[in-house]
Structure 1
Amino acid sequence: MKKRKIPWSMLYIAATIIAVILFGIFNREFGNVFYTITHLAPGFLAAGVVITIIYFFFEGGIIRLLMHSQNIPMTLGSSMKIGLIGIYYSYITPSSTGGQPMQAAYLRRDNVPVGLSTAVLIMKFFCFQCAFVFCSILSLLFLHGKIARENPGILPFIYVGMAINGGSILFFGSMFFRPVLGAICRFAKWLTGRFPKLAARFHAEEAIDKFEADFDSYTDDFKEKKNSVICGILLSIPQFILQMSVLYFVFRSFGYSQVGYLEILAIQSLLQLSVSFMPMPGASGAQEIGFSNFLRNYFVNNDLYAAVMVWRFFTYYLVVIAGALVVVADQLLYGRKKTALPPEEGEG
């Protein structure tokens, strides 16, 4: 009898759809947000959506830049897809751990070696973290006196966030030094060696060696192509500013105008700094609590909770929905393309 194939792609699509449905069911404020939005200034909300879309263009553009620096051809549309998929999986996994691995898996499907794609994606993360910490330092210098007077209780969280995010720059940057990468790969071999049957089945040692070699090839090229990394950092600064600017348009949509753009941008940057290391998916819970503590002096007309709902809708829920749609559409198109290929090609 012919062995029946398990329809993994369809199961994957079904799991994605179910996850988004459950996401809506278990977030009670998700349903209430639509009523709140209908009573806000539509122009400012539309502006918030537009800058989020521009943010996605930056995300894809920086990935494409770093890929092209390694002679990996990639269209802007493909890089935006990879970028949005990474954001989607970062938002639905604890501590944002799922983004880069899933991006590497999708790139592997397009015949980009895992070690090389991982190196590029880590460098992309490194560029963004540099911009994140740089803008956060400027924000803290700009608002430190005001926060110390009016809301000193949030300063410890800002300092911890600064230390953790600054440390991540050092850690991920160190991976491009061969001794550090070698130590990580040796640890991975030791760890897989604790499970010999699985290691043998998946050829773990050979896979780790290939990963290290591909990663090393990026490190060799990186020494000659530092300009692409510098450009990645410089482009990540406006990208981060765009991401942090959504709050300003939410603020204005509620009818407030007494505080300027730079102050709202700075307070949002410090809020993000303070909760970015929380282990929940999308820092859920911490984001809402942080918003209430950081923005309580800005939304003063008994509308703080409504503001939290609207802000989270545009910066989190909407991105999750968009990412899920991209994942499902891409899987359907890939399944159709794979079916159309001859058997020896379609099996890859």
Structure 2
Amino acid sequence: MSRRNQIVLIVMLLVGILIFGYSLRDVKLSAIFHDLATLHWRWFLVAVICIVLYLGLEGVVVKVFMADRHPDFTFKNALRVPLVEQLFNGITPFSTGGQPAQLIAMMQSGVDAGQASSVLLMKFVVFQAMIVINFLFSLMIGFHYIAVKLHALSLLVVFGFLIHLTVIVGLLMIMYWHGFTKRLVNLLISPIKWFRSAEKFAAMKANLDSKIDNFYQESLRIKSEGVKLLEVVILTFFQLLFYYLIPYFIMLSLGVHGLNLIMVTSLHILIVMIISLFPIPGGAGGAEYSFSVLFSSFIGANSKLVLAMLLWRLLTYYFGMFAGMFALVIKPDKIKSGQKGD
């Protein structure tokens, strides 16, 4: 990890401490300690298992994609990929550092950069598609509730959905209308040449064309492997499901009863969408605020609401970051230089 990233990590940890301290300003510490003492640890353990399964299943997805390319690509290597992703997602605005970090993690195992990029891109396509599908269901169930609670911020949810939908539509267009999509992209970027030199514009255009062509070639391969694609879709569905269920089990651990599983899960999906639009790494501030406002109707005691938010944030944000720090220092298993399935 670079010195700059180390500084950002320290800053985000300090920001988290400040946010936690601010959240506790109107809560007696004795009430927090009482809630911790009476915590139903079995339910909290289930929440912990959910985040472990979320990360573990993403490792399984990487392993599935790599199985016919490099049979000796170990699960240890596959698991490093999502863990490193979690760390760099957590310290970069809009989680932009996750994809490059995953690429480096795979290359450290000896995987060719082009092959690793193709695998990560297909994993990203499936992940985005499942996010959009889950969001559509949650929007129908919980949008009215979130509109009442967050007012203008609810527009961020719709905006976030449109961004994710645009991304997945664009990727699907490359898969099924390759030539048309290339021409469309070239048309859309043509105004940029008014502001850049001819050489830089030509280099950018060539780079985009290359990425589109590479993704299209990989998509042909994946489309011919229907069983593998279905396997990845199922794995990703359960991966996201375990993640979305975390608040439900945290509230059960705090003794909150009468919960609507579908509503709680739907609201968490909407919160995740809001977080993705905050430019601050990890959606710091926006994540805590959204959780506290949306789940205040489910948790009556203010001390329990704050504790639920803290536990949720520890599992969904800091757990992955610390696991990623650990993964960084673990030496990957080197694969053989020979490639299969190409």
Q: TM-score range by the shorter chain?
A: 0.7 to 0.9
- The 5 A counterparts of 1:136-215 are 136-144=135-143, 151=149, 153=151, 155-176=154-175, 178-179=178-179, 180=181, 215=215
1:297 corresponds in structure 2 to 297
Q: Deviations over 1:4-43 (max 9, x none)?
A: xxxxxxxx47766655444333322587699768443322
1:307 corresponds in structure 2 to 308
Aligned-partner Cα distance in 1 for 2:95–2:49? 24
**Secondary structure of the corresponding residue to residue 298 of structure 1:** coil
Give the residue type in structure 2 aligned to 1:28. I
Q: CA deviation at 1:139?
A: 2.1
Give the residue type in structure 2 aligned to 1:225. E
5+ residue gaps, structure 1: 1-11, 338-348
- The 5 A counterparts of 1:260-275 are 260-275=260-275
Q: Deviations over 1:131-179 (max 9, x none)?
A: 222122222333356556x547264333222222222211233444544
Name whichever of 58-67 and 210-219 sits farther off: 210-219
Aligned-partner Cα distance in 1 for 2:215–2:150? 44
Give yes or no for contact 2:138–2:270 (8 Å, CA) kept in 1. yes
Give yes or no for contact 2:150–2:293 (8 Å, CA) kept in 1. no
**Secondary structure of the corresponding residue to residue 78 of structure 1:** helix
* TM-score, structure 2 as length reference: 0.76
Aligned-partner Cα distance in 2 for 1:209–1:127? 22
Structure 1 pair 204–106 and aligned structure 2 pair: CA distance change class (3 A):
farther
2:131 corresponds in structure 1 to 132
Aligned-partner Cα distance in 1 for 2:167–2:55? 23
Give yes or no for contact 1:161–1:277 (8 Å, CA) kept in 2. yes
Give the residue type in structure 1 aligned to 2:50. I
Q: CA deviation at 1:266?
A: 1.5
2:55 corresponds in structure 1 to 56
Q: Deviations over 1:163-211 (max 9, x none)?
A: 2222221123344454446887997xx9xx9698x9xxxx999998986
Name whichever of 267-276 and 105-114 sits farther off: 105-114
Q: CA deviation at 1:256?
A: 0.7
Aligned-partner Cα distance in 2 for 1:298–1:161? 25
Percent of aligned positions that are identical: 22
Q: CA deviation at 1:305?
A: 3.0
Give the residue type in structure 2 aligned to 1:24. L
Structure 1 pair 210–60 and aligned structure 2 pair: CA distance change class (3 A):
same
Structure 1 pair 47–118 and aligned structure 2 pair: CA distance change class (3 A):
same
For the aligned residue pairs, the C-alpha RMSD in angstroms reads 3.8
2:339 corresponds in structure 1 to none
2:235 corresponds in structure 1 to 235
Structure number with the bigger relative contact order (C-alpha 8 A, sep ≥ 6) is 2
2:287 corresponds in structure 1 to 287
**Number of residues of Structure 1 aligned to a counterpart in Structure 2:** 315
- The 5 A counterparts of 1:250-265 are 250-265=250-265
Give the residue type in structure 2 aligned to 1:72. H
2:340 corresponds in structure 1 to none
**Secondary structure of the corresponding residue to residue 26 of structure 1:** helix
Matched, 1:81 2:80: yes
Name whichever of 106-115 and 315-324 sits farther off: 106-115
Q: Deviations over 1:227-261 (max 9, x none)?
A: 32232222211111101111112212222112132
Give the residue type in structure 1 aligned to 2:45. A
5+ residue gaps, structure 2: 335-342
Structure 1 pair 19–146 and aligned structure 2 pair: CA distance change class (3 A):
closer
**Secondary structure of the corresponding residue to residue 264 of structure 1:** helix
**Secondary structure of the corresponding residue to residue 106 of structure 1:** helix
